[in-house]
Amino acid sequence: MTQIKQNDLIQSVADAFQFISYYHPKDFISALGKAYELEQGVAAKDAIAQILTNSRMCAEGHRPMCQDTGIAVVFLKIGMQVQWSDATMSVSDMVNEGVRRAYMNPDNPLRASVLLDPAGKRKNTGDNTPAVIHYEIVPGDGVEVICAAKGGGSENKAKMAMLNPSDSIVDWVVKTVPTMGAGWCPPGILGIGIGGTPEKAMLMAKESLMGPVDIQELIARGPQNRVEELRLEIFDKVNKLGIGAQGLGGLTTVLDIKIMDYPTHAASLPVAMIPNCAATRHVHFHLHGDGPAKLDIPSLSDWPDVTWTPDTKKSKRVNLDTLTPAEVAAWKEGDTLLLNGKILTGRDAAHKRIQDMLAKGEALPVSFKNRVIYYVGPVDPVGNEAVGPAGPTTSTRMDKFTEMMLSQTGLISMIGKAERGPVAIEAIKKHKSAYLMAVGGAAYLVSKAIQTAKVVGFADLGMEAIYEFDVKDMPVTVAVSSAGISMHETGPKEWQAKIGNIPVTIA
């Protein structure tokens, strides 16, 4: 009977969540490198270059690849012959202690995003616990563990449907993926669960994402069962949607399709779909009673030779400190800009508080007149950093506040990730504003453009406080122009029409 010590599991979990905060899985990087080589869309290729450059920087610097360091998800398969030799804690408590140590590691602190009382006060737990833990008791004398960090942007795009048994799963996926927008930060992976019951389908969709990226091997050998046929058909049809990297239009929307299935009721066809984003993070390890897990450190040679740097020949430098409404109104969708000067930040909680203060006639802590706001919740800095990884959050969550901000505060532009909805686009058009998109999945790269950072309002909100950043050559793309034209609408349409005539194999 295998004797496993309490601290061996705790330390292994802690090491695993630190590890995946800065190391992409090797198979994911290889697939993304192939996608970069094949990509023909200018905006999409630039976005993938930023993601690959960011990934290598994080591997070198041991800093998070995304500011959203995720909710901790742990799959445990515990052998029936395992004995916890010195345990004074439950297995769940051991896992949560490992998560706590990982997220509060002073050498690489990870952003705590987990909130208590989700339907009420939504108070941050401060250490990213509790984890979401799934157990299975299996034959054997070891413990198999999968640790994954799932960001809110991708989790929020999860979909589930109870189809009729005669319905087409492929048609449902192809119809549903465009409704997910780009907030899940493609290119990534779609996990699909088929069968069982609603909750079983969702769990399988999540667990399927823990497998290796191997679609190219499947293409090479051909399908051997119905699930593999579905993987190939969905992979082909989703990429032909032309959504592309960051939703800007391009050849590669997904790097792989993963599917798990389970027997289901004769009257039912549950289908669930969960995306993994460009910050795909998971690691597998086993415990056999001989100490904490030893994780295989990847070699920097595993990363493709891609380095993104600011290009002043293709991008326009903008001085934020002298920016005028007329200059913003002149930007065209697709323009690439390098921002210099001071910007303000704010996310959901800050916008809600601003709304409440304006309704009461109270003065705001900082003026937004002729300013630009960045939707971001950064990681805490270490060493001489001005700020930790600081990539954009999903902008649609701020759509309902856009008219208020543009009409009542003097704000003239916004930065975030993914598309804007009709309400926000109408406000942007009405006020001759513009929406700028930063690349989701390039948080550490973006943070290097931030020279100084200070809290200027709502300090009690932690990472959701209002900061003032002084930036140098921060890269953004004009995603919605003052005319209300959105690249997230025009780009995919353009590439969907092009893809059928492009003689390449999508990565």
Residue 264 lies in a domain: no
Q: How far apart are CA 131 and CA 411, in angstroms?
A: 38
3-state secondary structure (DSSP) of residue 348: helix
State both tokens at 206.
Answer: 């999540």
For 362-398, write each residue's pLDDT tens digit. 999 999 999 999 999 999 999 999 999 999 999 999 9
User: CATH code at 356?
Assistant: 3.20.130.10
**At which residue do the structure tokens 């003689």 appear?**
503
CB atoms within 10 A of CB 309: 9
SS3 189: strand
* Domain assignment present for 414: yes
Q: Helix, strand, or coil here: 434?
A: strand
13, part of any domain:
no
Strands 143-150 and 71-79: antiparallel
Residue with tokens 């041991």, as numbered in its chain: 62
pLDDT in tens, 154-177: 999 999 999 999 999 999 999 999
Q: Could you tell me what percentage of the chain is helix, strand and coil, using 3-state DSSP and rounding each to the nearest 5?
A: 35, 25, 40
Residue type for position 138: V
The whole-chain average pLDDT of the chain stands at 96
Q: What is the pTM of this model?
A: 0.94
- Mean pLDDT for the stretch of residues 108-125: 95
Give the pair of three-digit tokens for residue 392: 């954009």
CB atoms within 10 A of CB 189: 25
Q: Could you report how far apart the first and last alpha carbons of the chain are, in Å?
A: 46
Give DSSP secondary structure letters for 62-94: T--SSS---EEEEEEEEETTEEETT--S-HHHH
Please report, as a single letter, which amino acid is at residue 113.
Answer: S
Helix (H, G, I), strand (E, B) or coil at 432: coil
Predicted confidence band at 501 (pLDDT cuts at 50, 70, 90)?
A: low
Query: What does the pLDDT average to over 401-427?
Result: 98
**3-class state of residue 198 by DSSP:** helix
Burial annotation 143-160 (CB, 10 A radius, 16+ → b, else e): bbbbbbbbbbbbbebbbb
Distance CA 440, CA 182 (A): 9
**How much is the CA Rg of the chain, to the nearest whole Å?**
23
For range 21-38, the mean pLDDT = 97
> So what's the pLDDT on residue 504?
44
Q: What percent of the chain has pLDDT over 70?
A: 98
Is pLDDT above 70 for 507? Answer: no
User: At residue 265, does pLDDT exceed 50?
Assistant: yes
Q: Examine the pLDDT at 503 and tell me if it is beyond 60.
A: no
Q: How far apart are alpha carbons 433 and 93 in whole angstroms?
A: 49
* Nearest residue to 464 via CA among 32, 92, 115, 43: 115
What range does the domain containing 355 cover? 316-492
pLDDT above 70 for 96: yes
Domain annotation covers residue 349: yes
Indicate the pLDDT class of residue 506, thresholds 50, 70 and 90: very low
What pLDDT band is residue 284 in, cutting at 50, 70 and 90? very high
* Number of domains comprising the chain: 1
What is 398-411 written as a DSSP string?
Answer: GHHHHHHHHHHS--
Residue 334 near residue 487 (C-beta atoms within 8 A): yes
**Tokens matching residue 207:** 């667990």
Q: Which of 336, 160, 318 is nearest to 246 (CA)?
A: 336
CA distance 414 to 420: 11
Q: How far apart are CA 504 and CA 53, in angstroms?
A: 24
Reported confidence tier of residue 500, pLDDT bands at 50, 70, 90: low
Q: How confident is the model at residue 502 (pLDDT cuts 50, 70, 90)?
A: low
Q: What mean pLDDT comes out for the span 22-51?
A: 96
pLDDT, residue 463, reads: 87
User: 124: helix, coil or strand?
Assistant: strand
Q: What is the pLDDT of residues 123-161, one digit of tens each?
A: 999 999 999 999 999 999 999 999 999 999 999 999 999
Q: Give the containing element (helix H, strand E) for 149.
A: strand 143-150
Domain-located, residue 217 = no
Please count the residues of the chain.
507
In a domain? residue 462: yes
Average pLDDT over residues 50-74: 97
Closest C-alpha to 334, from 481, 441, 206: 481
The pLDDT assigned to 88 comes to 97
